[in-house]
């Protein structure tokens, strides 16, 4: 076989295993030690047989993890950081809360949630739309509510709330600015896997008065019997309302006192069994914002969801979590949307080709439109239509030897039937960042299985606006670090 559809060939196999991720740091932007720039390979291999097998993994039974295998915070190797295990929803014990369909159904449900999330983000980040700021529950259409039934949240951590600490699963979200848990007494609580937190049984719980400075920092504040109220609504129709409190949180063996958390007495949605949400956004009320002084606004995470390795991802806080040797890209702030982490993207590459896309396709304008957001809650990377079309066409033209389906699947328009193949050779896909860093994605981050029978799709989609979003499928397996104090986002150097 001499065509690009290579079957088992040793040299390619070695490339596949040795270089799952390649990063070129920009000479100018790198602040720490750097890795030597590497030549980028123009092709990678996907083990089709193995990838298809991984879609058929038996879901963990309810009994496996409940007692023994629930990963809590991992050991902390240094005092300047907190390290937690990060679980994808499909690897959590919450499966009992989800319909246990096959891979294709779960994948299609994930894409449905994704469309809902992106529609909401697009609207929220459309600053010419004044109504977007006033997002009311009544505004949500049927589509949005059906998204809610799927449950919010893609990635979870387990932390202790109160004193003595009660362990709770929390959704993490890079675009949210509040930490909250469902609280007793519940006026309305959705089903969660741990007992609902009861402030009466926590010695460290303290309410916040309406006149306190921390109450001032909240949007949507009001007073209820002298207590500071909070209210948050999410794109899928989920919401939480209650009172603000000061509480102690425990991350493994690290205790953090005086964290402002929402104590939610009225909560609607289905956070896949989690007790609440740990907001990691760039605003002052997120966990990152509140820890500002202690952690320097620094955190690092690694998302893992697929495969049968049994490995978990990780989430670390503190300057000690910032890796040496990452490729650092300037972090951009949008004053209209301080929660979000934007980065500068200048172009895209496929194989040896830099796709001809005008650089301003990815520009964040003065008025806060467009730009490129890093989001843990979005699965598939969205690109402005013209950029997407050029990018996809470049990929299609370099995969002429693969059998392409005549129609799309779900949100994807470029899919292939690979069931006859053991491995396939595909062109690499790269992000060219402002400042010169280049991130070449592992093949599993851009050609993904959409069913259990060998259909794979090019995992990008067009945006309905000028907004680009880098989604979690593209972020998977790459260590991503945010150095908020110095204004950089780091990629690599570790694969995970
Ligand atoms: C693909 O993965 C399977 C299962 O792990 C393995 O047995 C096989 O050797 C791999 N094939 C190639 C060509 O890498
Ligand atoms: C942004 O908001 C404006 C004003 O409401 C609207 O005309 C436009 O269609 C919106 N754009 C998108 C992409 O939703």
SS3 labels along the chain: CCCCCCCCCHHHHHHHHHCCCEEECCCCCCCCCCCCCCCCCCEEEEEHHHHHHHHCCCCCCHHHHHHHHCCCECCCCCCCCEEEEEEEHHHCHHHHHCCCCCHHHHHHHHHHHHHHHHHHHHHHCCCCCHHHHCCCHHHCCHHHHHHHCCCCCCEEEEEEECCCCEEEEEEEECCCCCEEEEECCCCECCCECCCCECHHHCCCCEECECCCHHHHCCCCCCEECCEEEEEEECCCCCEEEEEEEEEEEEECCEEEEEEEEEEEEEEECCCCECCEEEECCCCCCCHHHHCHHHHCCEEEEECCCCCCCCCCEEEEECHHHCCCCCEEEEEECCCCCCCCEEECEEEEEECCEECCCCHHHHCECCCCCECEEECCCCCCEEECHHHHHHHHHHHHHCCCCCCECCCCECCECCEEECCCCCEEEEECEEEEECCCCEEECCHHHCEEECCCCCEEEECEEECCCCCEEECHHHHCCEEEEEECCCCEEEEEEEEC
Half-sphere exposure of 474 (CA within 13 A, CB side): 24
Among the residue ranges 69-73, 211-215, 393-397, the one predicted with the least confidence is 69-73
Ligand 2, atom 9: nearest CA belongs to which residue? 129
Q: Which residues of 458-485 are buried (b: 16+ CB within 10 A; e: fewer)?
A: bbbbbbebbbbbbbbbbbbbbbbbbbbe
Ligand nearest to the CA of 15: 1
Q: Does 108 or 495 have the greater pLDDT score? A: 108
From residue 235, alpha-carbon distances to 144, 158, 269 in Å are: 7, 23, 11
Say what the pLDDT of residue 41 is.
79
Ligand 2 centroid to residue 385 C-alpha, Å? 16
Whether 128 is in the pocket of ligand 2, judged by its Cβ within 6 Å, is: yes
Ligand 1 residue neighbourhood (C-beta within 6 Å):
8, 13, 47, 49-50, 422-423
Tokens of 125: 């980040």
Question: Tell me, what's the pLDDT at 67?
Answer: 31
For residue 278, pLDDT beyond 60: yes
Residue 54's pLDDT is 83
Nearest ligand, CA 464: 2
Tell me: pLDDT of 233 over 90.
Answer: no
The pLDDT tens digits for 440-457 are: 999 999 999 999 999 999
With 60 as the cut, is the pLDDT of residue 4 above it?
A: no
Choosing from 123, 126, 365, 467 the residue with most ligand 2 atoms within 8 A of its CB, the one to mutate for a pocket test is: 126
Ligand 1 atom with minimal separation from the 13 CA: 14
The confidence score (pLDDT) of residue 269 equals: 80
377-404 mean pLDDT: 97
Number of neighbouring beta carbons within 10 Å of residue 258: 12
Find out whether the beta carbon of 464 lies less than 6 Å from any atom of ligand 2.
Answer: yes
In angstroms, the CA 395 to CA 461 distance is: 13
Is the pLDDT confidence value at 28 over 50? no
Separation CA 97–CA 108 (nearest Å) = 17
Residue 75: strand pairing partners: none
**Options 114, 177, 236, 375, the catalytic residue:** 375
Cα 46 to ligand 1 centroid, rounded to whole Å? 10
Listed in sequence order, the residues at least 6 apart from 387 whose beta carbon sits closer than 8 Å to its beta carbon are: 348, 355, 357, 361, 362, 468
Which amino acid residue places its CA nearest to atom 7 of ligand 1?
A: 50
Among the listed residues 358, 376, 380, the one whose alpha carbon sits nearest the alpha carbon of residue 446:
380
Q: What is the mean pLDDT of residues 221-239?
A: 83
Measured at the CA of 373, the angle between CA 329 and CA 271, to 5 degrees, comes to 125
Residues 113 and 107: their CA atoms lie apart, in Å, by 10
pLDDT at 357: 96
Q: Does domain 32-59+101-129+325-496 have CATH number 2.40.70.10?
A: yes
Q: Report which ligand 2 atom has the smallest distance to the Cα of 465.
A: 13
Topology match between the domains 1-22+60-99+134-322 and 32-59+101-129+325-496: yes
Provide the pLDDT for residue 120.
87
Q: Is residue 375 among the annotated active site residues?
A: yes
The mean-pLDDT minimum among 31-45, 60-74, 354-368, 420-434 falls in 60-74
Residue 30: CB atoms within 10 A of its CB come to 21
Tell which one of 47, 449, 454 to mutate to probe ligand 1, the residue whose CB is within 8 A of the most ligand atoms.
47
CA 378 to chain centre: 6
pLDDT band at residue 309 under the 50/70/90 scheme: low
Q: Look at residue 310 in the predicted model and tell me its pLDDT.
A: 61
> 323 and 479 in contact (C-beta within 8 Å)?
yes
Judged by average pLDDT, the poorest of 135-144, 253-262, 266-275 is: 135-144
What are the φ/ψ torsions at residue 279 (nearest 5 degrees)? -75, 130
Highest mean pLDDT among 31-35, 78-82, 90-94, 100-104: 100-104
Higher pLDDT, 68 or 146: 146
CA 198 from centroid of its chain's CA atoms = 29
Of all protein residues, whose CA lies closest to atom 7 belonging to ligand 2?
129
Residue nearest (by alpha carbon) to ligand 2 atom 8: 129
Distance CA 30, CA 116 (A): 36
The chain-wide mean pLDDT, for the chain, equals 82
pLDDT at residue 23, as a whole number:
60
Name the nearest CA neighbour of 238 among 134, 151, 133. 151
Q: What residues contact 10, with CB distance under 8 A and at least 6 apart?
A: none
Residue pair 313/205 in contact by the 8 Å Cβ criterion? no
| Average pLDDT of the segment spanning 328-344 | 94
Q: Is the pLDDT of residue 226 over 90?
A: no
pLDDT in tens, 29-79: 333 323 334 556 799 999 999 999 888 765 444 333 333 233 334 434 445
Q: Regarding predicted confidence, which is higher, 39 or 189?
A: 189
- Examine the pLDDT at 312 and tell me if it is beyond 90: no
Residue 451 is predicted with a pLDDT of 93
C-beta of residue 78 within 8 angstroms of C-beta of residue 197: no
| Residue of the CA atom closest to atom 13 of ligand 1 | 8
Mean of pLDDT values over 459-465: 97
Checking if the pLDDT of 472 tops 70, the result is: yes
* pLDDT at residue 135 tops 50: no
The closest-lying atom of ligand 2 relative to the alpha carbon of residue 464 is 13
CATH of domain 1-22+60-99+134-322: 2.40.70.10
Sign of CA dihedral 273, 278, 281, 285: positive
Which ligand 2 atom lies nearest to the CA of residue 131?
Answer: 5
How much is the pLDDT for 496? 80
* CA-derived radius of gyration, the chain: 22
Is 177 among the catalytic positions? no
Which atom of ligand 1 is found nearest the CA of 423? 13
- How confident is the model over 234-246, as a mean pLDDT? 87
Residue 420, pLDDT score: 96
Q: What pLDDT, on the 0 to 100 scale, is given for residue 273?
A: 83
Where is pLDDT greater, at 77 or 470? 470
CB-based contact 358:348 (threshold 8 Å): no
Domain boundaries in the chain? 1-22+60-99+134-322, 32-59+101-129+325-496
Q: How far apart are CA 133 and CA 137, in angstroms?
A: 12
């Amino acid at each position: 076989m001499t065509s690009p559809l290579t079957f088992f060939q040793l040299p390619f196999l070695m490339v596949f295993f040795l270089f799952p991720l390649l990063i070129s740091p920009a000479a100018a932007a790198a602040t720490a030690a750097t890795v030597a720039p590497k030549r980028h390979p123009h092709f990678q291999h996907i083990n089709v047989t193995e990838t298809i097998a991984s879609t058929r993994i038996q879901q963990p039974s309810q009994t496996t993890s409940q007692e023994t295998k629930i990963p809590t915070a991992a050991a902390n190797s240094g005092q300047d950081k907190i390290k937690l295990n990060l679980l994808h929803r499909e690897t959590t014990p919450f499966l009992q809360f989800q319909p246990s369909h096959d891979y294709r159904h779960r994948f299609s449900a994930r894409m449905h949630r994704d469309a809902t999330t992106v529609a909401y983000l697009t609207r929220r980040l459309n600053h010419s739309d004044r109504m977007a700021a006033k997002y009311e529950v009544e505004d949500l259409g049927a589509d949005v509510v059906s998204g809610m039934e799927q449950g919010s949240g893609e990635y979870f951590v387990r932390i202790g709330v109160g004193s003595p600490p009660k362990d709770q699963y929390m959704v993490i979200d890079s675009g949210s600015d509040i930490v909250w848990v469902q609280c007793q007494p519940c006026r309305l609580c959705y089903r969660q896997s741990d007992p609902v937190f009861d402030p009466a049984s926590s010695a460290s719980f303290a309410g916040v008065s309406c006149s306190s400075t921390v109450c001032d920092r909240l949007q949507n504040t009001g007073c209820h019997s002298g207590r500071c109220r909070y209210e948050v609504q999410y794109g899928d129709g989920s919401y939480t309302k209650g009172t603000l409190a000061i509480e102690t949180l425990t991350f493994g063996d690290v205790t953090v006192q005086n964290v402002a958390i929402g104590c939610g007495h009225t909560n609607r949605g289905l956070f896949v069994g989690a007790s609440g949400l740990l907001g990691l956004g760039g605003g002052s009320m997120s966990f990152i914002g509140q820890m500002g002084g202690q952690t320097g606004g620094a955190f690092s995470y690694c998302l893992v969801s697929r495969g049968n390795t049994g490995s978990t991802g990780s989430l670390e806080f503190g300057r000690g979590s910032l890796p040496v040797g990452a490729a650092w890209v300037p972090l951009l702030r949008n004053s209209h949307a301080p929660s979000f982490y934007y980065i500068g993207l200048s172009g895209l590459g496929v194989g040896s080709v830099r796709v001809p896309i005008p650089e301003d396709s990815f520009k964040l304008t003065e008025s806060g439109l467009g730009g490129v957001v890093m989001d843990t809650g979005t699965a598939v990377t969205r690109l402005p239509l013209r950029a997407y079309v050029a990018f996809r066409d470049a990929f299609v033209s370099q995969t002429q030897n693969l059998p392409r389906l005549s129609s799309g699947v779900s949100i994807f328009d470029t899919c292939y039937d690979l069931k006859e193949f053991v491995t396939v050779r595909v062109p690499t896909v790269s992000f060219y960042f402002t400042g010169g860093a280049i991130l070449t994605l592992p093949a599993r981050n851009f050609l993904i299985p959409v069913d259990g029978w060998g259909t794979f799709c090019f995992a990008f989609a067009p945006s309905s606006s000028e907004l680009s979003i880098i989604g979690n499928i593209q972020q998977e397996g790459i260590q991503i670090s945010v150095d908020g104090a110095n204004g950089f986002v780091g990629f690599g150097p570790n694969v995970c």
